[in-house]
């Protein structure tokens, strides 16, 4: 739709002192004003926006891959600690206590076994926290409801 402009006014002629009413009408002719500059700029902006979307998509895919790796690592660490390390430390602690009762080990060995068990439990707690944080990060990136699996 062309941009039509209408103007009106009064004009006084100096030669004879005459006054006249003036009406003007301006209609741009598209053949001479094709708006090429604005079209080029709009195309460039659209291309820039498309490239930005592609870049953001690649960044999102990378973040998803990293989050999945972190989740798998945290899950594996928590499972190892829960299934192997903590039970082993519990057995060692029980054996140290029994050995102390029988006079085979000094009490320092019992304390050392208890410290090892506490360190293993702390490691498990930390691994479970890391697992949950990794789950939350992955859920946010996926834009989905939390994963159905609650524990590793």
Residues of the chain with pLDDT under 70: 1-2, 29-34, 145-152
The CATH number for 32's domain is 1.20.1600.10
Residue pLDDT, tens place only, 97-107: 999 999 999 99
Range of the domain at 80: 5-142
Q: Are the beta carbons of 38 and 23 closer than 8 angstroms? A: no
pLDDT of residue 39: 86
Rounded CA gap, 42 and 36, in Å?
Answer: 10
Give the pLDDT confidence score for residue 151 in this predicted structure. Answer: 56
| 130 is a domain residue | yes
On whether residue 148 sits in a domain, the answer given is: no
Does residue 149 lie within any of the structural domains? no
Dmax over CA atoms of the chain, in Å, equals: 135
Enter the pTM of the model.
0.62
* Residue 104 within any structural domain of the chain: yes
- Whether residue 100 lies inside any domain: the answer is yes
Residue 147 lies in a domain: no
Question: What is the pLDDT, as a whole number, of residue 10?
Answer: 79
Domain count, the chain: 1
């Amino acid at each position: 739709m062309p941009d039509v402009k209408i103007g009106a006014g009064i004009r006084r002629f100096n030669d004879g002192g005459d006054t006249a009413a003036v009406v003007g009408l301006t209609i741009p002719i598209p053949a001479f004003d094709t708006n090429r500059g604005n079209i080029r700029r709009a195309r460039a902006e659209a291309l820039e926006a498309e490239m930005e979307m592609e870049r953001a998509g690649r960044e999102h895919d990378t973040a998803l891959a990293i989050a999945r790796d972190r989740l798998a690592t945290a899950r594996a660490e928590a499972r190892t600690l829960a299934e192997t390390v903590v039970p082993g430390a519990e057995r060692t602690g029980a054996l140290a206590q029994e050995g102390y009762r029988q006079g085979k080990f000094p009490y320092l060995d019992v304390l050392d076994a208890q410290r090892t068990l506490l360190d293993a439990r702390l490691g498990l707690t930390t691994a479970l926290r890391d697992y949950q944080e990794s789950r939350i990060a992955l859920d946010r990136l996926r834009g989905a409801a939390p994963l159905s699996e609650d524990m590793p």
